[in-house]
Chains A and B, each alone.
Chain A
Amino acid sequence: MSDPREIALVVNDVRHARVVESRVNLADFLRHELGLFGTHVGCEHGVCGACTVLVDGASVRSCLMLAVQAGGKNVETIEGVAAADGASHPVQAALAKHHGLQCGYCTPGVVMTLIELGRENIGKPLGEAEIRHALSGNLCRCTGYQGIVDAGLDVFGAPADKGSET
Chain B
Amino acid sequence: MAGGTAGTLIGARTPRVEDARLLRGGGRFLDDIVVPGALEAVFFRSPVAHGLIRKIDVAAARALPDVRAVLTYDDLRPLLTSDRISLALPAAGIRFNVDPFVLARKEVCYAGEPIALIVATSRRVAEDAAGLIEIDIEPLPAVGDPVAGLDPGSPKARLDCPDNFVAKTGVDYGDIDHAFAAAAHVLRERFRLGKGGGFSIEPRGVVARYDPLEDRLTVWDSTQMPHRARAVLATCLGLSEQQTRVVAPDVGGGFGPKAVFHPEELAIPAAAMLLKQPVKWVEDRFESFTATVAERDQDWDMEAAFDAEGRLLGIRGRLCYDHGASTPYGIALPFNASTNMIGPYILPAFRVSIELCLTNKTPAAPTRGAGRPQGAYVMERLLDAMARKLGVPRDEIRRRNLIPADRMPYPIPVKQRDGSLMTYDSGDYPECQRRALAAAGWRDFPARQAAALREGRHIGLGLCNYVEGTGRGPFESASVRVNPSGQIVVTTGATAQGQGVHTMLAQIVGGELGVAPETILVQSGDTQTSPLGLGAFASRQAVTAGNAAKAAAVLVARKAKAAAAHLLEASPDDLELVDGAVRVRGVPGHRKTLTEIARSLAGAAGFSLPGGMAPGLAAASDFLTAGLTYTNGTHLAEVEVDHETGAVKILRYVVVHDCGTMINPMMVEGQIAGGVVHGIGMTLFEWMRYDEMAQPLTATFVDYLLPTSDVAPRIEIHHMESPTPLNPLGVKGAAESGVIGAPATIVSAIEDALAPFNVVIRDLPLTPAKLRALVRAGTKR
Contact = CB atoms under 8 A, between A and B. Distances in A.
Interface string A2-24: 00000000000000000001011
A38 B19 contact: no
A135 interface: yes
A58 interface: no
Contacts of A122: none
Nearest to A128: B714
B666 interface: yes
A104 B18 contact: yes
B674 A142 contact: yes
B124 interface: yes
A64 to B, nearest CB: 13
> What are the nearest 7 A-B pairs in CB distance?
A38-B25, A103-B498, A105-B252, A104-B22, A102-B498, A144-B677, A144-B673
A42 B201 contact: yes
A166 B710 contact: no
B706 A92 contact: no
B1 interface: no
Nearest to B738: A144
B463 to A, nearest CB: 19
Interface string A83-105: 00000100010011101011111
A81 B677 CA distance: 29
A139 interface: yes
B687 interface: no
B700 A140 contact: no
A62 interface: no
B24 A82 contact: yes
Contacts of B497: 103
Contact of B673 (A133, A136, A146): A146
B522 to A, nearest CB: 15
Contact of B675 (A99, A111, A144, A149): A144
B669 interface: yes
B16 interface: yes
A141 B202 CA distance: 10
B15 A141 contact: no
A145 B673 CA distance: 8
Interface in B448-491: none
Interface of B: 15-16, 18-29, 31-32, 34, 124, 128, 198-203, 250-253, 255, 284-285, 497-500, 666-667, 669-670, 673-678, 700-702, 706, 708-710, 712, 714-717, 738
Nearest to A39: B25
A97 B13 CA distance: 10
Given A77-B25, A82-B24, A105-B252, A96 B201 contact: no
A124 to B, nearest CB: 19
11 contacts: A39-B25, A42-B203, A44-B284, A45-B285, A79-B25, A96-B15, A96-B20, A105-B202, A142-B498, A166-B715, A166-B716
Nearest to A148: B709
B288 to A, nearest CB: 9
Nearest to A79: B25
Residue in B15, B21, B710 whose Cβ sees the most chain A Cβ within 10 Å: B710
A50 interface: yes
B709 A92 contact: no
A105 B128 CA distance: 28
Given A92-B24, A99-B666, A101-B23, A147 B200 contact: no
A135 B709 contact: yes
A78 B24 contact: yes
Nearest to A80: B25
Nearest to A47: B701
Contacts of B284: 44
Contacts of B124: 21, 23-24
B253 A142 contact: yes
Nearest to A134: B709
A108 interface: yes
Given A104-B18, A143-B670, 17 more contacts: A1-B128, A37-B25, A45-B702, A79-B25, A81-B24, A97-B15, A103-B200, A103-B250, A104-B22, A104-B250, A105-B201, A129-B710, A132-B709, A141-B201, A141-B255, A146-B670, A146-B715
Nearest to A166: B669
A92 B21 CA distance: 11
Given A102-B670, A139-B708, A142-B674, A37 B28 contact: yes
Residue in A39, A99, A141 whose Cβ sees the most chain B Cβ within 10 Å: A141
A75 interface: no
A140 B201 contact: yes
Nearest to A146: B673
Contact of A48 (B255, B674, B701): B701
Contact of A145 (B21, B199, B712): B712
Contacts of A39: 25
A158 B647 CA distance: 30
Contacts of B15: 96-97
Nearest to A104: B22
A66 interface: no
Contacts of A43: 285, 700-701
Contacts of B714: 128, 146, 149, 166
A131 B709 CA distance: 9
